[in-house]
Structure 1
Amino acid sequence: MNPNQLPLLTIFNSLRQRHGLPLGVDEYLVVLRSLQAGFGIGTREELEQLCCLLWAKSEEENRLIRRLFEQMWRYSPDTSAQPKPSSPSPESEESSAEIPESEPLPELEPQPNLTPEPVQAVQAVRSSRRDRELRRPRYSLLTEYFPVTRRQMKQCWRYLRRPVREGIPTELDVEATVAKMGREGILLEPVLIPPRKNRADLVLMIDQDGSMVPFHQLSRQLVETAQRGGRLRQTRVFYFHDYPDQYLYRHPAMLNAQPMSEVLEEIGERAVVLIVSDAGAARGNFDEERIASTKVWIEQVQQSVRYCAWLNPMPNQWWQNTTAGEIARLLPMFEMSRQGMNAAIGVLRGRYIAWERMYSWLL
């Protein structure tokens, strides 16, 4: 079996868009990585079992995936290397009987020599409209598939500055030198001052797992560009799920827990905090408990640091009448775009703008 010739992306799209399975990009990539590692490529049955194991959460979904594979085998260019399917088993007959014919499965056209790229899976996740839990904005796909590119991230971070003069005096202080000349009537030596250095300390608090799974790569690039290209004095990263429940974590797998109070004491009041989360917008729910718990958390942060902002990977029109819409009233929240990121950094610099004007529905 040649995994490079299997239209797995077609099955992935069908499961998400036509049948509403809550699959994200990570679920698609783990199948590709498993195939590359040699799992699921021995026989048809092994491949089906692999996809059912990783994608199905119920017996009904398991039967649906197997039925899609039955269609795929009819068109696969590798069929000559595989035995022909035998007569339908009782399981397959049961599967056909339980899936309503009113919702026919889409035809899977032959796609020879296709190796789906991760960017295609991300695009499929973003463009799906039926799956409300994982709805994503339609952003233009150029060299990168994010609403804000790596280069734009770096450019935005460089506006986050807190210049402080320190070190050996090497720069000419023109005004002080002129004043000194006026007092002494002669220039014996110029007045030098230390150069300006960026002493901005950034703290990223990033939501992980759940509805944030499709945005994990986006979050990783946000961290990477801040640490390597932001020209900041220090960037600290902490993780949470939905909202911190007394603890933040230093590792995205929710390892190395640290009490919230200890984190806030450690970072100091001169640091600025940027929170990254969909705030419940991806699922479209209204969770009063999450709003209340998030409010307590935000108040803790605001009492410890001067400036705090929120970046949301979901477009602002999806915040209305959801948990995110209420949280957006607690502190400046911006959608994850170049304009939104610039606005958030403006808040962190102390140049507070009328952020409500960006999203008039919040008024």
Structure 2
Amino acid sequence: MPPFVLAIVDQLRRRGLPIGVDDCDALRRALAAGFGWTSGAALTELCVMLWAKTEAEADMVRAAFARVDAPQWTLAVPAQPAPAPVEATGDAPPMEQAPAPPAVDAAPAPPPVAAPGRGLPAAPPGTGRADTTLVMTPQYPLTEREIVQVWRGLRRPTRHGPPVELDVDETLRRSARLGLPVPPVLVPARRNTTRLLLLVDRQGSMAPFHRYVEHVEQAVRRAGRLSALTVVYFHNTAGAADPGLLHAVPDPFDPAIDAVLPALAPLRDGTLYRDPALTSPVPLREVLDAVTATTGAAVISDAGAARGTLSPARLLDTAALGKALRAAAGAVAWLNPVPAAGWRRSTAEQVARHLPMFPLTRAGMYQAVDVLRGRPFPVARPL
């Protein structure tokens, strides 16, 4: 195998693409069969077909080839011989050839000359060749495969539907009890009944994280093992709670709202959106009414941590939304794209006292999935 391919494999492994011995052996056998030798681009596409499973992984493989100083070659295609002229038979009269028109020496048209103008000088003409050293592939903290592996753990298998699977233990138990051969005992197949409600904060301080959050959202959609997935969007908060409760806080300089939590009603009147552009509104009450006991709710928002702001009104609205989600869904988890060190002295630090909040990393998503599966997570003041 060419040595530069090993450097490419090392790059892909560092980027999270698990290229193993079987993948390298598949490339070796494909090269031995004659594939990928016509040009450098053909070798690149061969590796894409063998190693990539998604478009993002295909771009990752092409980017790795662009980074490595790999030789570029193109095998010349042999020219096809011209067909032999067909000889005329004696039965058919010879065809007279029309005289060729006289050649006219047409003077070439003069090249266009740009009119002199003022302002910035014109850009130099391009060479028509792409700069392969520039890698325009987005690189996120987590690959799609890593995110899919995390969210596939969100499972709650239950048996329902027609009996299609053999229950070996029950079949043997009946046969031993009766002392005779018995028909096989069939049971329904296990199916994942978990539903996920994903609430994504958009615009404002979340704008720098849009691409990464969209990447995570698409990976969750492609995990493909959930019974149902509902994605809705909001901006900062989904609605407003009773602002008069802020006047009942004993210490106005204390950001905690523990004293008014018993009087805080769950938020039911609010607005969510079905599209990331926030142009297709849907009532919050309608979304909550569709939530079942097997539904887990995950919120992706910075909760004011991106700007380091502490807003008592936003904290009150978020706590009211958290109460509504806890009353409707089985479990609630919060994923914050800002690292945990950036939550201090912001609304996010106070929200984390009431709801399980984790950073939007691999370890944080594993913890969030555990919470959504029903594992308890201690918080300072549960809602």
TM-score range relative to shorter protein: 0.5 to 0.7
Question: What is the one-letter code of the residue matched to 2:341?
Answer: Q
Please tell me the residue identity of whatever aligns with 1:312.
N
Residues 231-246 of structure 1 aligned to structure 2 (within 5 Å): 231-245=225-239, 246=270
User: Offset of 1:255 from its aligned partner?
Assistant: 2.0
Q: Distance in 2 between matches of 1:156 and 1:175?
A: 32
Show the counterpart of 1:191: 185
CA–CA distance in structure 2, aligned partners of residues 115 and 251 of structure 1: 36
Give the letter aligned to residue 349 of structure 1.
R
Q: Residue in 1 aligned with 2:283?
A: 259
Q: Does residue 342 of structure 1 match 2:336?
A: no
Q: What's 2:301 paired with?
A: 277
- Higher RCO (CA 8 Å, separation ≥ 6 residues): 1
CA RMSD, aligned part only? 2.7
Change (3 A) 1:215 1:80: closer
Q: Measure, in 2, the Cα distance between the counterparts of 1:287 and 1:117.
A: 41
Match of 1:292 among 305, 313, 316: 316
CA distance in 1, matches of 2:359, 2:317: 22
Larger Rg: 2
For the 8 Å contact 2:193–2:294, the answer to whether it is kept is: no
- Counterpart of 2:349 (choices 306, 321, 325) is 325
The alpha-carbon deviation at position 292 of structure 1 amounts to 0.7
Query: TM-score scaled to structure 2, two decimals?
Result: 0.55
Go from structure 1 to structure 2 and tell me whether the alpha carbon gap of 1:80 and 1:255 turns closer, same or farther (over 3 Å shift): closer
Which is worse superposed, 319-328 or 146-155?
Answer: 146-155
Q: Take 2:185 and 2:159, find their aligned partners in 1: how far apart are those partners?
A: 14
Structure 1 residue ranges without an equivalent (≥5): 1-42, 46-72, 82-112, 120-143, 357-363
Please give the alpha-carbon distance, in whole angstroms, between the structure 1 residues aligned to 2:297 and 2:144.
Answer: 20
- Contact map agreement 1:226 1:232 (CA 8 A) in 2: no
Cα deviation code 1:124-171 (max 9, x no counterpart): xxxxxxxxxxxxxxxxxxxx5323221111101110111121223222
In the alignment, what sits opposite 2:329?
Answer: 305
Structure 2: segments with no counterpart, 5+ residues: 1-116, 126-130, 240-269
Cα distance in 1 between the residues matched to 2:349 and 2:271: 24
Q: Contact conserved, 1:335 with 1:341, CA < 8 A, in 2?
A: yes
Deviation, 1:279, is 0.8
User: 1: CA distance between counterparts of 2:341 and 2:273?
Assistant: 30
Correspondence list, 1:137-152, <5 A? 145-152=139-146
1:235/1:79 Cα in 2 relative to 1: closer, same or farther (>3 Å)?
A: closer
Q: CA deviation at 1:79?
A: 6.7
Q: Whose helix proportion is higher, 1 or 2?
A: 1
Give matches, 1:1-363, under 5 Å. Answer: 145-245=139-239, 246-353=270-377
Amino acid at match of 1:176: E
State the secondary structure of the residue aligned to 1:321. Answer: coil
Is the CA contact 2:332–2:355 (under 8 Å) kept in the aligned structure 1?
A: yes
> Given residue 150 of structure 2, which amino acid in structure 1 is its aligned partner?
C
Residues 222 and 230 of structure 1: CA distance in aligned 2, closer, same or farther (over 3 Å): farther
Structure 2 vs 1, CA of residues 80 and 222 (structure 1 numbering), >3 Å: closer, same or farther? closer
C-alpha contact 1:148 1:336 (8 A) present in aligned 2: no
Q: Percent identity?
A: 38
Q: Following TM superposition, where does structure 1 have runs of at least 4 consecutive aligned residues deviating by more than 4 angstroms?
A: 78-81, 113-119, 353-356
Give the match's secondary structure for 1:324: helix
User: Across the two proteins, how many residue pairs are aligned to each other?
Assistant: 230
